[in-house]
Structure 1
Amino acid sequence: MITAAMVKELREKTGAGMMDCKKALSECDGDMEKSIDWLREKGIAKAAKKSDRIAAEGLTRSAVEGNTGVVFEVNSETDFVAKNEQFLGLLDTVQTLLVSNKPADVDAALACATAEGTLTDTITNATATIGEKISLRRIAVVEKADDEFFGSYVHMGGKISALVTLKGKADEKVAKDIAMQVASMAPQYVSRDEMPADVVEHERKVQTEIVKNDEKLANKPEKVLAGIIEGKISKNLKDLCLVEQEFFLNPDQKVGQYLKENGVEVVSFVRYAVGEGIEKREDNFAEEVMSQAFGG
């Protein structure tokens, strides 16, 4: 008797679809190893070979529906797959699931129900069909208050996505401008108030050493040196803070000034860039082409 647990195990081992696994187990009288071979021989077990590959390409997306905003990243192995219709369809599925289910994290998102079972099943099937490792890397689900508004921006078709939550005089242009600022200038915090004390302290230690070793400052009073150090800290940390950055549409103006002029303040933001933080494998392209040409 072929059980659901057997089908699940075979799916996890091969990445093949549920019906294919069921058929393989039936054909092989429930023998797991023979079923794996059967799927491989039929060219169905594609996903298993992909599990150890590095998926550092793909797309991000930012979307808003009512009081819910979502940002997520789905990775693939190559940039070509990002243009694949099935891959783009998968992003639509993920977006719909995140907005409607509001999962707390990636694991919760992967457990959400889809037409193929769960989102994990849908991704596994996409991996098997497309022939590349595909994975949902990270998600952010943001709920705003009724007196807040969203700004969303997707750059280069999904290479970078940003979602900002703002408060004050609702203005679509301001919202988009700030989302574009976040996407292009990659701040880490809204303001210095949000910055962890250890980040500031680390910078203070670095700048103190620099000043201590600067012969030109050797005879300056302690009070003057302290002022110089604080100035250097502010200069080096300002680009990490959104409100202290130069506004990309007007470098003579700080983002904070632009926000103040428009009666708006930033509550929070999320920015995802494809593959950031993933160590990409360096492939020898010539070797790869030869390998494919000669079936290596």
Structure 2
Amino acid sequence: MEDFTYTISEEQKGERIDKALVTLEADWSRSQIQIWLKDGAVLVNGETAKPNYKVKLNDVITVTVPDVEPLDIEAEDLNLEIVYEDEDVLVVNKPRGMVVHPAPGHTSGTLVNGLMHQVTDLSGINGVLRPGIVHRIDKDTSGLLMVAKNDKAHVSLVDQLVKRTVTRKYTALVHGHIPHDKGTIDAPIGRDSRDRQSMAVIDKGKHAITHFRVIERFGNFTLVECRLETGRTHQIRVHMKYIGFPLAGDPKYGPKKTIEFNGQALHAGVVGFIHPRTEEYLEFEAPLPEEFKTLLEEMKTTVDSKEK
């Protein structure tokens, strides 16, 4: 741990403590400072500071910055496809079938194991099992993920997710013929009371919004683009089931008789965000995996043959 000490001047007096500290230490963000305040790592004149405290002239503020916990994960050469990387962030194209981070009983073969081999620095905010991980996608969902290489970048990307300014577009194949070309699903999502391993639309759930538009129709299936406004667990899978069009291949939320695809047909194809350092908007796109393309070709062939 390292202590940083500051004395409040005329310029800062009367400001909230988090805002004052951002002025005094440009490398910190208000979100990170608020975390330290909640953890009791910020003192004013030797006393633990409250998050809403307004600083006074000559206040002495001490911030104890915790050490980043050393990472104890085995690095593995998984040949990850990193589509963008700089000193602060990277974007990786996760393959289907890969878990994002280690968990008890599942400590190898994850995206994090691969990142540890290919990337020199990763943020430590989420601890030893999830270094650099800002958001997740399910094991059988392929596509793009943002990864933070330092804590400042991590806080910035999380802030953008909270403020809903991150662009996240997915391609999904769903059961059924969606008659309208686009729509918005605004329905709260929470833990399913009947199955604690699943999520569902429930009255007391967290606010969740998914926008969708139809790309192509294949008889009893529809290919859609889904844009997340919020990022709840299993959001697209739950929302599409809620409106009667569950994802094809989905073993948890789809019908028992579905396609053979070893999981839901869902691909995180586009991610866009404001760079934490340059403040430039960056957007990246990953094409559908070959197996997803093959599935769609088979669908099209089947439909065409029936129409002849």
TM-score between both structures, scaled by the size of structure 2: 0.23
Larger helix proportion of the pair:
1
Larger strand proportion of the pair:
2
In terms of Rg, which structure is larger? Answer: 1
TM-score between both structures, scaled by the size of structure 1: 0.24
